[in-house]
Structure 1
Amino acid sequence: MWFYLGIVVLHILRNTAVEETWIFVGAALVPATIFWIMVHRLRTTDTITAVNLVVAAVIGGTLAITAGATLDKLIGMIPQAEFGGKGILALSMAGFVEELCKGIVIVIVGWKLAKSTRNGLFVGGAVGLGFAVLETMFYIASSVGGADPIIDAAREAVGRGLLAPFGHVLWSSLFGAALFTAAAKTGRFRLSWLVLGTYVGVALLHGAWDGSGGIVLALTGSDLLSLLAEFGGSLVVIAIGVPIWRHVAKKHPAPPLPDDSVSDAAATQPTAPTSPVPA
């Protein structure tokens, strides 16, 4: 549908009435696919539901980007060198600002939910999904321009879509896992070294993703080195973040189904010796 809207309706027929629809579908395509997978990974023994994830993605994502955009703009007003029309300080601090906002929203939407590391992965990931969709819509819309606006916007949608699983979704998922893990014993969210360490870690990953190219440009003045740093920074973030997420997810699998528990218990019970059958 996204290709059809872009190629046929917008590019060939020049009907701009569906431009916003095309932008939304392009921004939401990959995150919605990830959300679909998340919902189907829920089991009957999980203590959260698909409705909880919808609330986290839609309401949580909107709240997070609202707060993050406010703070990002305030930081951007500070005099600073620029890269691609954005302040380098704002790009570098975006990780700390936006991850803090998403963390606060994760606490809000997860306040009454059962606290477990697995639930934190789901809720944090859902908030990151909602945030990513709304942010990507802005970048796609900003790319619309020139003699043939569809090409640049499509390139932006594809690029951000392919990288979506390794950005906001991954960072918020890990932060959510830390927040829920710290709250697991008492059922209440609290600060801990795990929470603080995870926050700093995902904020640095986020900052490296956003600001590595700008920092290198400011230091060297080379566009080529800046592009290489931006590409390299993304690879480093993926190489660090994905194995950590996989480790946490594997360490905290879904609770077993009741039938599985009974079957496992029965399999481990010793069998009583049978009486000899009389001749």
Structure 2
Amino acid sequence: MTALQQSPDLIERRAAAIDESGWGRRFHFFQPRNACWWVYLLLVVLGARELYRLAAPTAEVFEAANLAALGSAGVFCLLFLLFLHHVDRYERTPASLAVVGFLGGGIGATWAMALPGNAALMDLYTKTFGQAWASDWKAGLTAPLVEETAKGVVFVLLLGLASGVIRTVYDGLIVGAFIGLGFQVLEDMLYGQNSAYQHFGVDQVGSVLQTFVLRSATGIASHGMYTAIFAAGIIYLVGTSAQPRRVGRGLMLIVGAMVVHGAWDSMPALADGNGFGVAALMLGITVASILILLTALRWGLTVSAVGCTTCWPLRSRTARSPSSS
């Protein structure tokens, strides 16, 4: 007999840890009795309608730009998905949940909430503080508040739909990254199309690809990272059955995500237009973002490791014969 078979108490504790962590549970999207499901659908429908309203009138004229934006964003998306597949090693996020998060972040958060919210707040800044001040600071003081909140709303909805799956801080990091990835891909497509519009349709593919390369080269600190940190903060803030509430940590992560996002969007103003200053800020903000993410990972893995890493012997055993224990 193995040591594991001789320790029924250890088996029971590991089984309890697996159940608490939500490992192996499936995600079912169709939940008509759950209010979160209806709100999620409303956001996606409203976002899709706004996307169609803005894109349809110029779709034929800027067909080349749209195809180039779709292709370049698809390359970025594929690379990021490969990265997430590599780091999501403790308990795989269900593919259906990843898709729902991606669509919620890309369509619901971007077009139904962030786009109108950004425009409204930027107009308020301009009217209150003047055009010159708003030109320098409106992006950095708008995007973190509106966009992180919009993506956070999507994460809270998914937390309501997948409470049995999203249990740990690590779960929040991964699901939040999928939401942020959706937002990033749709935003990159929008920026690429705007670049083609600004050049009046001349060299549409070149304009889009130039924007894509620039945003990709400087996009280590991007929406995927911001939202991963923000979502981990939400897990700490509200608590789950596997993660007791840690309000201080939650607020630190949420504020940290918003600060690095705001600093990134305010780099030209912070550097006063100095190219070397912008480069230094870019490096510093990227390093700060990575350090915050690593801190969240370190905190999160302390729970995930208990619920997952120590359970591999039991997993292999129960996978062969669930009733053997």
TM-score by length of 2: 0.64
- Matched residues in 2 for 1:142 and 1:108: separation? 31
8 Å contact from structure 1 (residues 115, 183) kept in 2: no
Query: Which secondary structure does the structure 2 equivalent of 1:166 belong to?
Result: coil
Query: Which secondary structure does the structure 1 equivalent of 2:75 belong to?
Result: helix
8 Å contact from structure 2 (residues 109, 151) kept in 1: yes
Please identify the structure whose Cα radius of gyration is greater.
1
- Matched residues in 2 for 1:190 and 1:262: separation? 28
- Equivalent of 1:33 in 61, 66, 79: 79
Deviation at 1:40, TM superposition (A): 5.0
Deviations 1:13-65 (A, max 9, x none): xx97443121112123223321233235445x627312111110112332211
- Equivalent of 2:280 in 232, 253, 259: 232
Mean alpha-carbon deviation: is it higher for 142-151 or for 104-113? 142-151
- Matched residues in 2 for 1:155 and 1:17: separation? 17
Number of the residue aligned with 2:115: 69
- Equivalent of 1:59 in 101, 104, 109: 104
Number of the residue aligned with 1:140: 192
Read off the aligned partner of 2:281 and give its amino acid letter.
Answer: G
1:200-211 superposed matches below 5 A: 200-211=255-266
Query: Which secondary structure does the structure 1 equivalent of 2:93 belong to?
Result: coil
TM-score by length of 1: 0.74
Deviations 1:215-245 (A, max 9, x none): 544xxxxx4x1x4443332211111111232
Query: Which secondary structure does the structure 2 equivalent of 1:110 belong to?
Result: helix
- Matched residues in 2 for 1:235 and 1:171: separation? 16
Number of the residue aligned with 1:48: 93
- Matched residues in 2 for 1:197 and 1:258: separation? 30
Number of the residue aligned with 2:291: 243
8 Å contact from structure 1 (residues 24, 137) kept in 2: yes
Deviation at 1:148, TM superposition (A): 3.1
Deviations 1:91-125 (A, max 9, x none): 33321221122112111122233320110011110
- Matched residues in 1 for 2:138 and 2:255: separation? 17
1:22-171 superposed matches below 5 A: 22-39=68-85, 41-43=87-89, 46=91, 48-65=93-110, 66-78=112-124, 79=126, 80-82=130-132, 86=135, 88-111=137-160, 112-113=162-163, 114-144=166-196, 145=199, 147-171=202-226
Number of the residue aligned with 2:28: none
Q: How many residues align?
A: 240
- Matched residues in 2 for 1:98 and 1:152: separation? 25
8 Å contact from structure 1 (residues 56, 126) kept in 2: yes
- Matched residues in 2 for 1:231 and 1:36: separation? 28
Give the 3 Å change call, closer, same or farther, for CA 171–104 of structure 1 in structure 2.
same
8 Å contact from structure 2 (residues 234, 250) kept in 1: yes
Give the 3 Å change call, closer, same or farther, for CA 188–60 of structure 1 in structure 2.
farther
- Matched residues in 2 for 1:245 and 1:130: separation? 19
Deviation at 1:162, TM superposition (A): 2.8
Gaps of 5+ in 2: 1-60, 317-325
Deviations 1:145-167 (A, max 9, x none): 26434333212101112333421
Q: What is the CA RMSD across the aligned residues, in angstroms?
A: 3.1
Number of the residue aligned with 1:275: none
Percent of aligned positions with the same letter in both sequences? 21
Give the 3 Å change call, closer, same or farther, for CA 216–247 of structure 1 in structure 2.
closer
Deviations 1:185-229 (A, max 9, x none): 447997933332222211111111011213544xxxxx4x1x444
Give the 3 Å change call, closer, same or farther, for CA 204–77 of structure 1 in structure 2.
same
- Matched residues in 2 for 1:250 and 1:192: separation? 17
8 Å contact from structure 1 (residues 124, 176) kept in 2: yes
Gaps of 5+ in 1: 1-14, 218-222, 264-279
Number of the residue aligned with 2:309: 256
Read off the aligned partner of 2:131 and give its amino acid letter.
Answer: A
